[in-house]
Structure 1
Amino acid sequence: MLRQRRHPRPRTHPPSVGTFFTKMMAFCASKDAQETSAVWATVNPVAEGPNAGYPLLIVHGGKDPLVSDERVDMLVRLALTDDQEMVVFSDGDHCVYNHRQDRDVLIADWICSRLGQAGTNGAW
């Protein structure tokens, strides 16, 4: 029997260990957990501020055991941008590892399309 855990509230602080946190440390170009936590605490894709209005691509696995469809729908609803796209791989797992090549091509094409738009009118 598969038991699913549901988090009633969004996480208010980043995890301090694990693969995800290690990736966040690399993303922040830091080897310091405290510094990475401070940077991560500023990330909020649904907050007003300098990052509002940027293009948003959400790639979701329909069979993701960690991120529910409801959480993804909430992010789409609350994101402060009109330029958003959500792609769901119906049988995709967490991070859509089971469709790695298709996922990576999709993301690369999306980024290239947005980079082609950048700077054409002073905005995204």
Structure 2
Amino acid sequence: RFHWLVLISWQCMNFFAASNLFSIFSNFVPEWRCGNGSLGKNCTVYHNCNETITFSHVPFHSAAYEYRWICNNSFSASASNQVQFFGFFFGTVAFGFASDILGRKIVTSFAL
């Protein structure tokens, strides 16, 4: 019985810790090249390229890569990250107050 409790506690902790990894998977931008040029993250090359932009090996497709939040649009990656952390902060405060009023068991059951 104790081992099951530890396992469940560990899984809940992993669930909440995973939200801190969100920025890694949302803001990753691989290096690119214009045509057959060298790899880099030079925005001048990115904007002035008349050939196909080719990205280096992409281990996973991030939101920044998919939506081309690169160079002039890089603020979008930061904005999405800020929205996620604001939601995390707001949720922590809101569910904290709710658990004080309604009780931890009810709020935790609702949150999960």
**Same fold per superposition (TM over 0.5):** no
Q: TM-score, normalised by structure 2?
A: 0.35
Structure holding more helix per residue: 2
Higher Cα Rg, which structure:
2
Q: TM-score, normalised by structure 1?
A: 0.32
